[in-house]
Amino acid sequence: MSDTGNGERHSLFISDLHLWHTRASTTDDFIRFVDGIYEDTDALYILGDLFEYWAGDDDLNDPHHLSVVHALERLSRRGVRSYLMHGNRDFLLGETFASAARIEVLQDPCIHELYGHRVLLSHGDALCTDDIAYQQFRSQVRKPEWQSQFLNQPLAARKAQIEALRMRSEQEKSIKPEDIMDVNPQAVEALLRDHGYPGILIHGHTHRPASHHLEMDGHEIQRWVLGDWYEQGSCLRLDRHGCHPIQL
Here the CATH number for the domain that contains residue 205 is 3.60.21.10
In total, how many domains does the chain have?
1
2 part of a folded domain:
no
What kind and span of H or E run contains 158?
helix 155-173
Q: Is the CB of residue 64 less than 8 Å from the CB of residue 54?
A: no
Q: What is the pLDDT along the chain (248 residues), one digit of tens a residue?
A: 445 556 799 999 999 999 999 999 999 999 999 999 988 999 999 999 999 999 999 999 999 999 999 999 999 999 999 999 999 999 999 999 999 999 999 999 999 999 999 999 999 999 999 999 999 999 999 999 999 999 999 999 999 999 999 888 888 777 778 778 899 999 999 999 999 999 999 999 999 999 999 999 999 999 999 999 998 889 999 999 999 999 88
- Domain with 138 in it: 10-247
Tell me how far apart the alpha carbons of residues 94 and 104 are, in angstroms, rounded to a whole number.
Answer: 10
SS3 168: helix
CA distance 183 to 125: 8
Query: Does a structural domain hold residue 5?
Result: no
Show the 3-state SS of 88-155: CCCCCCCHHHHHHHCCEEECCCEEEEECCEEEEEECCHHHCCCCHHHHHHHHHHCCHHHHHHHHCCCH
